[in-house]
Amino acid sequence: MEMVLSGADAAPAAAFALEHVSKRYGSVVALDDISLSMAKGSTTALIGSSGSGKSTVLRLLLGLDWPDQGVIKAEGRALERPHVLALRQRVGYVIQEGGLFPHLTALGNLALQPRYLGWSAARIHERAEALAELTHLPPGVLERYPAELSGGQRQRVALMRGLMLNPDALLLDEPLGALDPIVRHELQDQLKLIFDQLGKTVIVVTHDLAEAAWFAERLILLREGKVMQDGRIDDLRDRPADPFVRRFVASQRRLPEPAA
Amino acid sequence: MKHRLRLAMTLFVLLPMYVWAAPVRIGSKQFTESVILGELARLGTQEADSQVRHQRELGGTSILWSALRHGDIDVYPEYTGTLTQELLKGVAPDADIPALRATLKPLGLGITDSLGFNNTYAIGMREDRAAQLGITRMSELAMHPELRFGFSNEFMDRADGWPGIRQRYGLPQTQVRGLDHSLSYRAVASRAVDAIDLYSTDAEIPYYRLRTLADDKHYFPRYDAVFLYRLELEQSHPAFVAALRKLSGRIDEKSMQQMNAEAKLKGAKETDIAARFLGVQTDGDDAGLWQRLLRRTVEHVRLVIVSLGMAVLLAIPLGILAARRKRLGQIVIGLTGILQTVPSLAMFVFMIPLFGIGAWPAVAALFLYSLLPIVRNTHAGLVGIPLELRESAAALGLPSGVRLRRVELPMATRSILAGIKTAAVINVGTATLAALIGAGGYGQPILTGIRLDNIGLILEGAIPAALLALIVQGMFEGIERWLTPYGLRIEARQ
């Protein structure tokens, strides 16, 4: 009986869920009673202006911060402090400008996690080479220090570091925010390919609507810690749930029409 | 097995004998007369007991007194007046030596009879001026109200100084000036003043041809020179004590003045002076400049390395703790900061009751001084790591110990090394004070040089100390370059 019941109940557990989560930093409300859930293998973009709370979502999912109220769930299980390290090893995290450690070479950065887990040098090397191929990192770059890398290379290495342990999920916080437009465009293409290829649960935070729509089917627009709209790009554009959504969509600059 | 047992038993038997045969340690204060008396004690007893050492210039009265009471030294020269006025409580100010002996006995201390001179305050005049006015006693000063007095500032202020003698002797003089003691001899010699205060065995008295006026109303307490010693020597080194007692009554005021003058004015060595007085062979330290320098360098560097090493071992963990726990961190940094504000001389003296005299209290004091720069820089280096990097490390799922070792400490390397460098350089300078408590090092010639007013000797300690500080600085810059991860160096260049 029980088996049947639980079976019937179990829509496959969401990869991540927030249930009535609130978080404030001092007097600033970062998240205001928010509930969200991300299905396994889905790609979601969190968008919004600075201070809308979108980065806070990622930080709470990783246990880098804890909600004032509400529950965070990973794979159906409420997040508690003792699980945090294990969870972080199953989730890759990439931030703006990469967050690479300047005293280590690119390879040294990649090796941190696997070395702690007892991988052999050969295995680390092999994995790094495979990821270099996946991210189109030029050969030889792995031996360099972060200060010797271009912005695009740094971002690639950061992504590789997030993928070293072949995690179930990738959380990216403005991963392309610091890049020039050409590199950014190139990396958008590659990231999209990688997301599709790997089939992981991906949450990407960006303030660029076009980038968000390029990466993800599901867009979640946040404002002052509240969800303004949760849907596809067509919904946001054609059926804005709120005047703010209309304004946000309209504020994306387009190239001027060619002169008639 | 059997051998080991026998060895152990032999040690067991020999060890107490070794302790029993421990050398007698004589201490002396940091002024010439005391050092000469210390040498007199050493040379005068060496026939009776070959195991006698003299630790020179250990510091002031309080340091010697507490060293004697704690058994860090066994003997030192003292003055009865100092015992009655400063060291012993509840003793009559004019207590004689038998009375002092009775008071000292419960403390486990013994006292010899007077060595033969009284080094007290006195009033001195130029011999010719005194003869011209016919003054030999202090009471006769009252008949010459026109006389000009120049007194050391301390003597002017002390109740038992000028205010006291004026009242006791009914002195009418109004031209009384405060002078620095070192200048007062020149002032009286050049007739700028007619009379000054002095210590009755000062080397300058014969040099400037001064007449010491008799204290005919017995105003000043007696400062008879004596040796204080630990009573247990009477059992453990009876021959030594007997020889020490034989020095009593042998040194009169004139001889002491003469010996002081030879050291201070002619630059003779205390050992030679004492040997000549006793008529024994001198065994003066004839080590050449380089040999002396080498010995002091070893002493000095050892103080610095041991104290700095221990400080690093404690301060880095404290700095880490301070960075991890904000509240605790403020307390830790505050406490080490307070340590830093303790004046260095006081710090060295505070360590004596805990560690005795010699190298260990110096190491302890230097250790405490080294803590702050290292704790503060470790803390600053760790909290200075950008938040996003600290979080990136956390987000990798590494436990905090691994993060600390692989990420945070390497990134803070430069700051931590800078802290150690600061501590080392401060340490090299402060360690010169360690000579005050018998730890040797470059401070020793500086102290002796100050005492004898000998610039050459002062430089013999000051120059190597400055050079050592520069070398340490350079060395740490090398280490910094060597240990700072390459990635951080090129990052800093951008």
Answer whether B387 touches A (CB < 8 Å). no
Strand B52-55 relative to strand B24-27, pairing: parallel
Query: Distance between CA atoms of B169 and B101, rounded to whole angstroms?
Result: 32
Q: Tell me if A85 is assigned to some domain.
A: no
Q: Find, in chain B, the residue whose alpha carbon is nearest to that of A86.
A: B397
Overall domain count for chain A: 1
- Please give the Cα distance from A93 to A98 (Å, whole number): 9
**Final residue of a domain: which of B213, B236, B254?**
B213
Of A112, A146, A161, the CB nearest to B406: A112
Q: Are residues B293 and B371 in the same domain?
A: yes
Task: Assess whether pLDDT exceeds 90 at residue A225.
Answer: no
pLDDT at residue number B336 = 87
The model's pTM is 0.72
Q: How far is CA B469 from the centre of its chain?
A: 22
* Closest-CA distance of chain A to residue B391, Å: 7
From chain B, pick out residues whose CB is under 8 angstroms from the CB of A89.
Answer: 396-397
Note whether residue A190 is domain-resident: yes
- Cβ contact (<8 Å) for B396 and A104? no
Q: For residue A97, which residues of chain B lie inside 8 Å, CB to CB?
A: 388
Owning domain of residue B169: 121-213
Q: Are residues B441 and B466 in the same domain?
A: yes
Interface membership of A81 toward B (CB under 8 Å) = no
Q: Tokens 């280590």 correspond to what residue?
A: A104
Task: Give the CATH number, domain containing residue A145.
Answer: 3.40.50.300
pLDDT the model gives residue B181: 72
The total number of structural domains that make up chain B: 3
Minimal CA separation from B489 to chain A, in Å = 8
Residues of A in contact with B415 (CB under 8 A): none
Range of the domain at A147: 41-61+93-250
Query: A87–B393: do the CB atoms touch at under 8 Å?
Result: no
Same domain as B126, residue B113:
no
| pLDDT of amino acid A256 | 78
Residue A258 CB neighbours (<10 A): 5
Sign of CA dihedral B417, B418, B419, B421: positive
CATH number for the domain that contains residue B142: 3.40.190.120
- A104 closest CB neighbour out of B395, B397, B487: B487
CA distance A245 to chain B (A): 30
For residues B232 and B344, membership in a common domain is answered with: no
Do you know the residue count of chain A? 260
Residue contact B491–A64, C-beta within 8 A: no
Could you report the predicted ipTM of this complex, rounded to two decimals?
Answer: 0.85
Residue A86 within any structural domain of the chain = no
- Full pLDDT tens readout for chain B, 494 residues: 456 556 655 555 454 444 445 789 999 988 889 999 999 999 988 888 778 889 888 878 888 898 899 888 999 999 998 898 888 888 888 889 999 999 999 999 999 999 999 998 889 999 999 999 999 999 999 999 999 999 887 788 777 788 888 989 999 998 888 887 767 888 898 898 999 998 888 888 888 889 999 899 888 888 999 999 999 999 988 999 999 999 999 999 889 999 998 888 887 888 999 999 988 887 766 667 888 889 899 999 999 999 999 999 999 999 999 998 888 888 988 988 888 888 888 888 788 778 877 788 899 999 999 999 999 999 999 999 998 899 899 999 898 899 999 999 999 999 999 999 999 999 999 999 888 887 889 998 888 888 777 888 889 999 999 999 999 999 999 988 888 888 888 776 65
Q: Is residue A15 part of a domain?
A: no
Share of chain A above pLDDT 90, in %: 43
Q: Which of B392, B484, B493 to mutate to test the interface with A (most CBs of A within 10 A)?
A: B392
Taking the alpha carbons at both ends of chain A, their separation in whole angstroms is 72
CA distance A127 to chain B (A): 17
Select from B195, B213, B231 the last residue of a domain: B213
Answer whether residue A12 is part of any domain: no
Please list every residue in chain A whose beta carbon sits closer than 8 Å to the beta carbon of residue B403.
none
What is the 3-class SS of chain B, one letter each residue?
CHHHHHHHHHHHHHHHHHHHCCCEEEECCCCHHHHHHHHHHHHHHCCCCCCEEEECCCCCHHHHHHHHHCCCCCEEEEEHHHHHHHHCCCCCCCCCHHHHHHHHHHHCEEECCCCCCECCEEEEEEHHHHHHHCCCEHHHHHHCCCCCEEEEHHHHHCCCCHHHHHHHHCCCCCCEEEECHHHHHHHHHCCCCCEEEEECCCCHHHHCCEEEEECCCCCCCCCEEEEEEECCHHHHCHHHHHHHHCCCCCCCHHHHHHHHHHHHCCCCCHHHHHHHHHCCCCCCCCCCHHHHHHHHHHHHHHHHHHHHHHHHHHHHHHHHHHHHCHHHHHHHHHHHHHHHHCCHHHHHHHHHHHHCCCHHHHHHHHHHHHHHHHHHHHHHHHHCCCHHHHHHHHHCCCCHHHHHHHHHHHHHHHHHHHHHHHHHHHHHHHHHHHHHHCCCCCHHHHHHHHHHCCHHHHHHHHHHHHHHHHHHHHHHHHHHHHHCCHHHHHHHHC
Could you tell me if B384 lies within 8 Å of chain A, comparing CB atoms? no
Q: Quick check: helix, strand or coil at residue A79?
A: coil
Do B308 and B395 belong together in one domain? Answer: yes
What's the rounded Cα separation, in Å, for the pair B309 and A94?
41
Of A64, A87, A147, the CB nearest to B391: A64
| Beta pairing partners, A234 | none
Q: Is residue A234 part of a domain?
A: yes
A161 touching B (Cβ < 8 Å): yes
